[in-house]
Amino acid sequence: MQKTIILKTYKREALYDITSEVKAVVKEASVKNGLVNIYVQGATAAIMIQENWDESVQEDVVVFLRKMIPQGVWQHDQQDGNGDAHLKAGLIGPGETIPVINGEIGLSTWQNIFLCEFDGPRNTRKVVVTVMP
């Protein structure tokens, strides 16, 4: 089964928790044991599994990436000013695959699924969720 989640982002760089949306797709698929793949379409966004209990972790991810990959110093910035966003997205990666165990996503207590926006705000971000037995 495959569904596309469509999201709107509100900041240039932020992490958006999409765990509940992915869980809903897994539930609808009625797969007892298998895999769920979460993939963002776009070269300036990524998918990350990270802690959601404390928002400081998500903020730390953004701050860390800003320090490691600053804005405005890359060759691609001469084209459209988002060279850093491409590099951040490439470093994190466009997708994650998680086991489905007894009909549930196999995340631990502290793990959640995040869309990482590096070139927002965007009216539309598409995340493809594929559930496989």
> In 3-state terms, the chain is what percent helix, strand and coil (to 5)?
30, 35, 35
Q: Which amino acid is at 47?
A: I
d(C-alpha 81, C-alpha 8), whole Å: 21
> pLDDT-derived band of residue 52, with 50, 70 and 90 as boundaries?
confident
Q: What is the pLDDT of residues 17-50, one digit of tens each?
A: 999 999 999 999 999 999 999 999 999 999 999 9
Residue the block writes with tokens 């793949």: 37
The answer to whether residue 129 scores a pLDDT higher than 90 is yes
Residue the block writes with tokens 């994650």: 96
Average pLDDT score over the chain? 97
Homologous superfamily assigned to 2-132? YjbQ-like (2.60.120.460)
Domain range annotation of the chain: 2-132
Q: Which two tokens stand for residue 41?
A: 């379409």
Q: Which two tokens stand for residue 92?
A: 């994190």
Q: What is the pLDDT of residues 77-107, one digit of tens each?
A: 899 999 999 999 999 999 999 999 999 999 9
Q: Which two tokens stand for residue 69?
A: 């990959």
Q: Which amino acid is at 104?
A: E
Q: What average pLDDT does this structure show over 42-67? A: 95
**Local structure of residue 36 (DSSP, 8 states):** E
Find out whether 62 and 14 touch, Cβ atoms under 8 Å: yes
**Number of continuous H segments (helices) and E segments (strands) in the chain:** 4, 8
**Nearest to 6, CA basis, from 45, 36, 34, 35:** 45
The answer to whether residue 2 scores a pLDDT higher than 90 is yes
